[in-house]
Structure 1
């Protein structure tokens, strides 16, 4: 098989991750791997997997495998023989084949969950396509899957990264493999890469940021597709959750570390954690598994604008440049709309400061529905005219197309952005006002709206 490419990526997350694990363990490019390379790592793999700390993880990946079956006494011999037989059976890839992963080679045997995670037990044929007695994987793909635990992340269950980006896969698998090799050198085995995360959403954002920060690349140009598979293949409760990371979210996260307000971004992320008493927190381990709404919303395509705003201290966290980048990259917001909201925010800030009207700001903060907010803007327009301000607060076109393009559906987003801009412009002035101002109640807002009507 000299000169023949042994592996090509398949789109199967387990097989592709295994190929990358092999590549980084051997320190060769995936396309350069050969049979001798594979034979040379069999002893390495069995040495790692036979450690007791690794056995616990392997029960969730390869149950009833020779490595994890308590009834098997000669574990090393049995598993090594299995791996070497797979290598010997790897033939030259063809144009087509019946392997359900690569489609370029044929199976020699059908495998169950003891060899291929999440395929089911061979005796329960309803788990398999067309009621067959196992999953059709060729020897090359089956061999690659055996190396998947080397690049898995322990997070309650196992977390597996899969991406179409060679850079993302290369650097993550290198990071994970380095961790395993450090265990070998130190003689202190801890199992799959484990940093104490139990919350899979927090863990996957940590993994992404770890790769971005650890390796010097122009990540914001990469535009990858990334998915995380959080699973257990344990006999008594196999389970799988799939998390897709939107490409714009990755691009935004890749850009953030280079921004001058990166520390503010960390503050925004921190504000997303639930039920954390920050005065008592001494280290990250005390809160990193609490749900984080910033991460959850980014993953689910929901807005995080409100987390840029500290209403208690009336602070615009990160400034207009940072939130604009989020709006353009992640929310795909039109530049004209962003500029219109910014201009209206500027006008409102100037008016509030000029007429020394803290109550107007409080009303803009506390409006709870679209009708109230719309009418508050109408009242402010009238007051601006009474104070000799002739320029309109906004045009009809701006109102319809940019401020509230979907009316009641987007009014809260506009409210938050206008408030953000007002805080950014007036924070010093607001601080000078002190905290003696009366709090505006919803009933007072209703009374003023009724009078205006």
Structure 2
């Protein structure tokens, strides 16, 4: 017989709490029985008595029975009974839970649920009775949500997605971190920095073991609190397209994986800890910034993020220093631009084919390094890049090869020959160079020495 219990509802605080309960009880929420809820409640009460968590609970449930040291034991017990056992209360007539639409059993305020106002500050409400109507199961789940969070810049940071499997996996990373700190006897939770880096680094780790049969979805990193003068809310979006890209990179050939790993590893920046922090290394976990992760998450805060993602290629995928030439990898760029930026596959294949033709026929095949040098050592405006292509076309024609007008238009994303400018020709130039450096590095690495000298000369 089916029985009522906690369940995923599509609301972040509820779903994060359900995921924590699943991790603790070791079973999916649909299999929870009444004795499981009682077991979880006893565990939570014990955990929240820890000194390391009492202060942290203040930024989740201000002035609540969990953390208010001024209330009596009786009132504290009454509060805990309400938030963990309200599913046994009688339904409130005519009211339904705002999260799951089951009959409401409790009217909650900011003591019980984050991001609400206080009971005494609500000036209007249905029927003149203040409070958010919730069922006891959703209210209970929300009490577990702090264990799904990390403390970052003084605020809780946690995950939500519309896919319970993904929410469960992402939440597990932070739940295990909290468990380790508690088990280690830490009396203070570390206050981390760089939420964007933390989120994307976590996503990377989770995707490494996330099954191919499990669904991906857009993810939201929530960085929120209503502790203090008023609600403080920010969300970071990691779209499904980015997660698919990160997952696909892991199954590509070694050259692609190596190129992407190099981007991540070289983007880490070590924070300079002050003397006070240095003395408390046992208590504080130094957090690091990753420039690549930060840039990616910032891109997705833009309304036109599919276009903005193309800037990532220039800033991170195009390696301009001689010692990193070998990490130029067109296949990685193609995968990123297809999956994340939504760039047309035919266009990318055309860019690659023309770059290959120029490189193999003129640069490698005819020792004409000028076609690489001039493109590498000079920033081009659109009309200058077009003159470069005209010269290339003329030289290829002398070799019995001709670039078709249709291919040029596709490459530059122009509708016809009368279009005067390509909006992203600089991306095309970058992709040309990435492919050229890749091919020359594999077949005529000696040519890169001349390129290096020319580059040094231009710089000096």
| Long gaps (5+) in structure 2 | 273-284, 416-420
Question: What secondary structure does 1:64 align onto?
Answer: coil
Could you tell me which of 423, 426, 431 is aligned with 2:448? Answer: 431
Shift of 1:377: 1.3
Residue by residue, what CA displacement relative to the aligned partner does 1:204-245 show, whole Å, maximum 9, x if unpaired?
1112112223x35227x6232311111122123531111121
Instruction: Determine helix, strand or coil for the equivalent of 1:154.
Output: strand
Please name the residue that 1:117 is paired with.
114
Residue aligning to 2:282: none
User: Cα gap change, 1:187/1:359 in structure 2, threshold over 3 Å: closer, same or farther?
Assistant: same
Tell me if structure 2 keeps the 8 A contact 1:362–1:439: no
Q: Is the 8 A contact 2:326 2:438 kept in 1?
A: yes
CA, structure 1 residues 171+276, in 2 after alignment: closer, same or farther (shift >3 Å)? closer
1:339 corresponding residue in structure 2: 349
Give the 3-state SS of the residue equivalent to 2:223 in structure 1. Answer: strand
Q: 1:424-450: CA deviations, max 9, x gaps?
A: 1112143342643377879xxxxxxxx
- Whether the 8 Å CA contact 1:18–1:145 is kept in 2: the answer is yes
**C-alpha distance after superposition, 1:384-408 (max 9, x if no partner):** 44xx32211x211112223333743
For 2:124 and 2:334, the matched residues in 1 are separated by 48
How many aligned positions are there?
423
Q: Does 1:324 align with 2:334?
A: yes
Q: What is the 5 A alignment of 1:37-56? A: 37-56=36-55
1:200 aligns with 195
Q: Which residue of 2 aligns with 1:229?
A: 222
Under a length normalisation based on structure 1, what TM-score does the superposition of the two structures give? 0.82
Partner-residue secondary structure (3-state), 1:228: strand
- Aligned to 1:240, the other structure's residue is in SS state strand
Change (3 A) 1:345 1:145: same
Deviation of the 1:43 alpha carbon: 2.7
2:411, 2:428 within 8 Å by CA — same for their partners in 1?
no
Q: 2:43, 2:216 → 1: CA distance?
A: 35
Equivalent position SS for 2:422: helix
Which residue matches 1:36? Answer: 35
TM (norm. structure 2) is: 0.81
Q: Which residue does the alignment assign to 1:3?
A: 2
162, 166, 169: which one aligns with 1:168: 166
Q: 2:280 maps to which residue?
A: none
In the TM superposition, residue 321 of structure 1 has moved relative to its aligned partner by 2.7
Instruction: Give the drift of 1:311.
Output: 0.9
Deviates more, 1:255-264 or 1:202-211: 255-264
Q: Please give the alpha-carbon distance, in whole angstroms, between the structure 2 residues aligned to 1:162 and 1:229.
A: 7
Moved over 6 A (4+): 126-132, 274-277, 438-442
Q: Does 1:415 align with 2:429?
A: yes
Paired residues for 1:346-385 under 5 Å: 346-350=356-360, 351-365=362-376, 366-385=378-397
Q: For residues 152 and 380 of structure 2, what CA distance do their matches in structure 1 show?
A: 40
Question: Which residue does the alignment assign to 1:305?
Answer: 313
How does 1:51-450 map onto structure 2 within 5 Å?
51-74=50-73, 77-89=77-89, 98-109=96-107, 111-125=108-122, 133-156=130-153, 157-188=155-186, 190-191=188-189, 197-213=192-208, 215=209, 217-218=211-212, 222-259=215-252, 260=254, 261-272=256-267, 288-289=288-289, 291-292=291-292, 293-296=294-297, 299-300=300-301, 301=305, 302-303=309-310, 304-306=312-314, 307-313=316-322, 315=325, 317=327, 319-350=329-360, 351-365=362-376, 366-385=378-397, 388-392=398-402, 394-405=403-414, 407-427=421-441, 428-433=445-450, 435-437=452-454
RMSD, matched Cα: 3.3
Cα 1:83–1:438, aligned 2, differ >3 Å: closer, same or farther? closer
Question: Take 1:241 and 1:187, find their aligned partners in 2: how far apart are those partners?
Answer: 31
Provide the C-alpha distance between the structure 2 equivalents of 1:358 and 1:308, rounded to a whole number of angstroms. Answer: 22
Give the superposition deviation at 1:370.
1.3
Task: Check conservation: 1:162, 1:228, Cα contact below 8 A.
Answer: yes
* Distance (Å, rounded) in 2 between the aligned partners of 1:165 and 1:438: 49
1:66-106 Cα distance to aligned partner (Å, 9 max, x none): 12223224275344333354142276x99x95221111222
User: 1:103-124: per-residue Cα shift (whole Å, max 9, x none)?
Assistant: 1222432x22111101122333
Asked whether the equivalents of residues 157 and 224 of structure 2 are also in contact (C-alpha less than 8 Å), the reply is: yes
The whole-number CA distance in structure 1 between the counterparts of 2:84 and 2:383 is 72
Counterparts of 1:83 and 1:258, CA distance in 2:
46
Contact kept? 2:87, 2:105, Cα under 8 Å: no
* SS of residue matched to 1:315: helix
How has the CA–CA distance of structure 1 residues 287 and 83 changed in structure 2, closer, same or farther, with 3 Å as cutoff? closer
Distance 1:337 1:404, change over 3 A: same
State the secondary structure of the residue aligned to 1:37: helix
Q: Structure 1: how far apart are the matches of 2:77 and 2:400?
A: 88
Q: What is the rounded CA distance, in whole Å, between the counterparts of 2:424 and 2:392 in structure 1?
A: 20
